[in-house]
């Protein structure tokens, strides 16, 4: 297996590889090797240029290696990590420490500035960048929407962040932000005075907001752009074409085209020369090539760099090229082996007070695990959403600009990525390696996406989610059945008034209600509770032995999102799942999770419509009496389980209480404070009309541990102090009853 740096020595070279190698030597046989190659640069097997003299330090470092940071990963979600025990160093000197960093990843500049990237609202397409000085002083914070271009300037005093809305050039010391045109790639000059922007078919050179130079290039998918003030030079390259211009007089100086399997990956401008990082790929290996051109385009030197033999698949033939008949193989070798599923497609997850639907599969892997293509195609994007932990690539089946569905592979080590936009990839080709996500393991975010264009952009409003990847991955050897667990200790399912937080007792169901079920699944060897793929329900009138509600699909977690509907994920989340203070979304890392599925927010088809929030079980449409709710949970492999709960519909006695007025008072637990509490808390409640009222405190096993109120109460509001003396720390439920009315809330006692 390759190490993270990609330095793997070749032990054998196939005859086909040797022929390609010899053809390259013939192609460049008139070039003197190494004579003009800068001694400070070398090239990786994927064509990225690196400095020979920069030491590797810590977890993140500046480009020149002078500044570096160390930290420890504590809790981690799908896109968010807690970085603790953060320390910034200059060479061997400690500059400052921070107990918890304000972000999940970071950039360090050559001037010692630190830019923390906080993706806590990534589900809404938003990250916030927090800038700190080399002394540890907070300079500014910048919220960014749909950003996918990031980087410090060479001197390290400016920072660029780009999206389809434009490129923002940030001066953290002054707080000044300059807005420029949107670009696919950008670069700062060595003195930070100008910025080069590579757009489809053209290049701009700007000073501040003023355009100094603009030229048509014809390069629709530029991979890299570089600019120099000292040489008045701007260079841009796509897959096989390198162009360079003098932006002082507008002349085109260089037009260089590669042949065969050689492609441009990187550029540097060094002392008036253009140093290009080139990648040469074959079926057996990939190898870097460093080429040097002068201002006239004359090739001065070329040098072959590191060669990488991608690791052979474990446990099956190295030459395997057959795709699964009815799906795709797993993206790791051996390709016929399931991997641990950490987070599921459309899984309900929470950040602070927000929640959203997880758009893909998160698969746990060893750190540095090689990733392979599950289908052949053309690379459509290689980008990061902020920091080295968020690099990803997407591969579609066709090269055109039309709409297509392709596979997204996210959380790859940047230096290991083996391809760039426009490259052709075959089935089982090596793509890169998985980053370190926690101290002990990595993970890949894997999903099918849909987009249009020669280059797919995360930030243009077209990035769609196509469906559940587990439906296509083969094989699926899952044999574990889903389970249906009690929602409350005394009630297997929960029944609440439609789109409200008012819960009813199973023996007193009336009006329009939502039915809520807690169901979980385990996929393969995963120890994490996941939502089941499919839920169905039906209701039987026990007294008449007939169907009251025919069997209906409640959910099938394979909904497509035709565009990156980040602003709607929270709305869709509460369409599929119940979310309130009593039934909150689960946290990320625990194995035990709580998914509360709303069965009744569905018209029975596989489409999501936010209007379905208003759907419910209309108990007034059936006679009063005893009913049985049946629920079936199934997974993709066909494992299933069933459960049921009896309810009593009681509408007739409540007809007067229901009324038609929207201002009718209802039974409510108005609030508890403080919560969590240490010893005592005040409880406020409201009674709609005079009558017998019972207010009790229950533990998580459903046992009543304290009776606070019992007896006749007048209509209106009341309050009392709950003294928890003698009770242990933990979660408790306050439950208020008044005739057929029922309300409850949760509180936490912390000693």
For residues 733 and 297, the model is more confident at: 297
The span from the CA of 681 to the CA of 441, in Å, is: 43
- Inform me whether the pLDDT recorded for 43 exceeds 80: yes
pLDDT of residue 312 exceeding 70, the answer is no
Greater confidence, 626 or 587? 626
pLDDT of residue 314: 47
Q: What proportion of the chain, given as a percentage, has pLDDT over 70?
A: 90
Q: Which residue has the higher pLDDT, 589 or 126?
A: 126
Whose tokens are 């441009």? That residue is 264
Strand partners of residue 681: 722
Q: What are the pLDDT digits (tens) for 330-341?
A: 999 999 999 999
- The mean per-residue pLDDT over the stretch 497-525 comes to 93
Mean pLDDT for the chain overall = 88
HEC letters along 247-289 = CCCCCEEEEEECCCCEEEEEEEEECCEEEEEEEEECCCCEEEE
Average of per-residue pLDDT across 347-376: 90
For residues 476 and 469, give the distance between their C-alpha atoms in angstroms, rounded to a whole number: 12
- Determine which of 81-85, 177-181, 277-281, 746-750 has the lowest per-residue pLDDT on average: 746-750
**In the structure, what pLDDT confidence band is assigned to residue 254 with cuts at 50, 70 and 90?**
very high
- The whole-angstrom separation of Cα 89 and Cα 70 is 8
- Report whether pLDDT(662) > 90: no
CB 466 within 8 A of CB 397: no
Rounded-to-integer distance, Cα 226 and Cα 195, Å: 9
d(CA 446, CA 435): 14
Q: In the block, which residue shows the tokens 């929407």?
A: 145
Answer yes or no: is pLDDT of 27 > 60. Answer: no
Give me 250's structure tokens: 């507008």
Q: How many Å apart are CA 470 and CA 2, to the nearest integer?
A: 28
More confident residue, 399 or 264: 264
- pLDDT at position 352 is 66
What does the pLDDT read at residue 321? 41
Say what the pLDDT of residue 361 is. Answer: 96
Mean pLDDT of 382-400: 94
What predicted TM-score, i.e. pTM, was given to this entire model? 0.84
Phi-psi region of 139 (alpha: psi -120 to 50; beta: other; left: phi over 0): alpha
Look at residue 7 in the predicted model and tell me its pLDDT: 33
- The pLDDT score that the predictor gives to residue 255 is 96
Q: Tell me: the pLDDT tens digits for 604-633?
A: 998 888 889 999 999 989 999 999 999 999
User: In the prediction, which pLDDT does 322 show?
Assistant: 44
CA distance 343 to 335: 20
Q: DSSP secondary structure string, 593-652?
A: ---EEESSS--SSS---GGGGG--EEGGGS-SEEEEEEEEEE-TTS-EEEEEEEEEE--G
Look at residue 653 and tell me whether its pLDDT is greater than 60.
no
- Candidates 489, 484, 553; CA nearest to 519 is 484
Cβ atoms of 597 and 516 closer than 8 Å: yes
Residue 741 pLDDT > 70, yes or no? yes
Instruction: Evaluate if residue 667 carries a pLDDT over 80.
Output: no
Identify the pLDDT of residue 20. 45
Phi-psi region of 156 (alpha: psi -120 to 50; beta: other; left: phi over 0): left
Q: State the residue for tokens 């910048």.
A: 142
What's the rounded mean pLDDT across residues 737-749? 80
| Percent of the chain whose pLDDT exceeds 90 | 65
Which candidate, 562, 528, 313, places its Cα nearest to that of 429?
313
Residue 654 has pLDDT above 70, yes or no: no
- Average pLDDT rounded to a whole number, residues 425-439: 94
Helix (H, G, I), strand (E, B) or coil at 91: coil
Report pLDDT for 562.
Answer: 74
In total, the chain counts a number of residues equal to 751
**Exposure class string for 160-199: b at 16+ Cβ within 10 A, else e:** bbbbbeebbbbbbeeeeebebebbbbbbbbbebebbbbbb
Q: Mean pLDDT over residues 646-674, rounded? A: 65
| The pairing of beta strand 348-351 with beta strand 286-293 | unpaired
- Answer whether residue 1 shows pLDDT above 70: no
Q: What is the pLDDT of residue 674?
A: 83
Q: Is residue 32 over pLDDT 70?
A: no
More confident call, 31 vs 430: 430
Structure tokens at 98: 């921070």
- pLDDT tens for 526-580 read 999 999 999 999 999 999 999 999 999 999 999 988 765 545 567 789 999 999 8
Read off φ and ψ for residue 22, nearest 5 degrees: -65, -35
From residue 85, give the alpha-carbon distance in Å to each of 75, 176, 252, 599.
13, 30, 51, 44
CB 234 within 8 A of CB 196: yes
Q: For residue 501, what pLDDT is reported? A: 86
pLDDT at position 489 is: 84
pLDDT of residue 127: 93
Does the CA dihedral 101-102-108-112 come out positive or negative? negative
pLDDT in tens, 72-83: 999 888 889 999
Q: How many CB atoms lie within 10 A of CB 49?
A: 23
pLDDT at res. 26: 35
| Helices (H), ranges, 46-186 | none
| Three-state SS letters, 427-494 | CCCEEEEECCCCCCCEEEEEEEEEECCCCCCCCCCCCEEEECHHHCECCCCCCCCCEEECCECCECCE
Q: Are 523 and 639 in contact (CB under 8 A)?
A: no
Average pLDDT rounded to a whole number, residues 284-292: 91
């Amino acid at each position: 297996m390759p190490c993270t740096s990609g330095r793997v020595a070749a032990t054998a070279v196939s005859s086909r590889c040797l022929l390609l190698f010899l053809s390259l030597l013939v192609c460049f046989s008139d070039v003197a090797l190494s004579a003009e190659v800068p001694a400070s640069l070398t090239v990786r097997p994927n064509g990225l240029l690196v400095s020979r003299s920069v030491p590797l330090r810590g977890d993140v470092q500046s480009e020149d290696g002078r500044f570096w940071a160390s930290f420890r990963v504590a809790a981690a979600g799908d896109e968010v990590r807690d970085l603790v025990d953060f320390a910034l160093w200059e060479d061997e000197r400690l500059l400052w420490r921070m107990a918890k960093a304000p972000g999940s990843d970071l950039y360090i500049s050559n001037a010692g500035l630190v830019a923390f990237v906080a993706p806590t609202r990534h589900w809404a397409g938003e990250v916030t960048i927090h800038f700190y000085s080399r002394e540890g002083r907070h300079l500014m914070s910048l919220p960014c929407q749909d950003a996918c271009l990031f980087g410090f300037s060479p001197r390290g005093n400016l920072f660029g962040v780009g999206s389809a809305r434009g490129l923002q050039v940030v001066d953290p010391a002054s707080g000044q932000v300059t807005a420029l045109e949107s670009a696919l790639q950008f670069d700062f000059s060595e003195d930070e005075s100008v910025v080069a922007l590579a757009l489809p078919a053209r290049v701009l050179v700007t000073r501040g907001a003023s355009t100094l130079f603009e030229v048509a290039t014809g390069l629709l998918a530029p991979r890299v752009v570089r600019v120099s003030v000292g040489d008045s030079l701007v260079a841009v390259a796509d897959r096989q074409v390198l162009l360079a211009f003098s932006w002082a007089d507008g002349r085109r100086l260089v037009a260089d085209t590669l042949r065969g399997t050689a492609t441009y990956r990187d550029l540097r401008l060094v002392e008036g020369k253009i140093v290009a990082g080139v990648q040469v790929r074959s079926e057996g290996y990939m190898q870097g090539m460093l080429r040097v051109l002068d201002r006239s385009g004359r090739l001065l030197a070329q040098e072959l760099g590191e060669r990488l033999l991608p690791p052979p698949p474990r446990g099956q033939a190295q030459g395997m090229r057959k795709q699964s008949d009815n799906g795709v193989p797993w993206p790791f070798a051996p390709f016929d082996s399931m991997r641990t599923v950490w987070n599921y497609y459309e899984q309900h997850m929470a950040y602070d007070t927000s929640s959203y639907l997880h758009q893909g599969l998160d698969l746990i892997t060893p750190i540095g695990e090689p990733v392979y293509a599950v289908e052949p195609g053309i690379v459509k994007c290689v980008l990061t959403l902020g920091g080295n932990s968020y690099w990803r690539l997407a591969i579609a089946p066709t090269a055109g600009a039309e709409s297509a569905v392709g596979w997204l592979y996210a959380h790859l080590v940047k230096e290991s990525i083996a391809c760039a936009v426009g490259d052709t990839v075959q089935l089982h080709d090596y793509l890169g390696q998985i980053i370190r996500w926690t101290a002990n393991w990595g993970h890949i975010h894997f999903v099918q996406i849909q987009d249009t264009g020669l280059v797919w952009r995360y930030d243009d409003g077209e990035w769609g989610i196509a469906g559940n990847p587990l439906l296509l991955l083969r094989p699926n050897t899952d044999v574990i059945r889903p389970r249906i667990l009690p929602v409350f200790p005394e009630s297997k399912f929960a029944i609440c008034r439609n789109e409200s937080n008012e819960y009813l007792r199973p023996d007193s169901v009336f009006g329009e209600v939502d039915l809520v079920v807690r169901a979980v699944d385990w996929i393969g060897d995963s120890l994490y509770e996941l939502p089941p793929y499919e839920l169905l329900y039906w209701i039987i009138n026990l007294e008449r032995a007939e169907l009251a509600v025919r069997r209906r699909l409640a959910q099938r977690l394979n909904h497509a999102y035709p565009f990156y509907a980040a602003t709607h994920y929270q709305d869709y989340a509460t369409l599929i799942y119940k979310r309130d203070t009593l039934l909150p979304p689960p946290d990320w890392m625990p194995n035990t999770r709580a998914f509360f599925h709303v069965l009744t927010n569905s018209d029975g088809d596989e489409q999501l419509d936010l209007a379905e929030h208003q759907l419910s079980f209309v108990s007034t449409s059936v006679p009063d009496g005893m009913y049985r709710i049946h629920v079936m949970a199934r997974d993709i492999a066909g494992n299933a389980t069933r459960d049921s709960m009896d309810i009593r519909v009681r509408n007739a006695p409540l007809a007067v209480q229901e009324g038609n007025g929207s201002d009718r008072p209802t039974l409510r637990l108005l609030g508890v404070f403080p919560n969590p509490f240490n010893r005592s808390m005040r409880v406020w409640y409201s009674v709609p009309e005079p009558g017998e009222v019972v207010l009790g405190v229950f533990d998580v096993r459903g046992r009543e541990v304290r009776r606070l109120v019992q007896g006749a109460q007048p209509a209106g509001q009341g309050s009392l102090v709950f003294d928890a003396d003698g009770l242990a720390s933990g979660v408790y439920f306050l439950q208020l009853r008044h005739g057929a009315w029922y309300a409850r809330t949760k509180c936490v006692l912390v000693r």
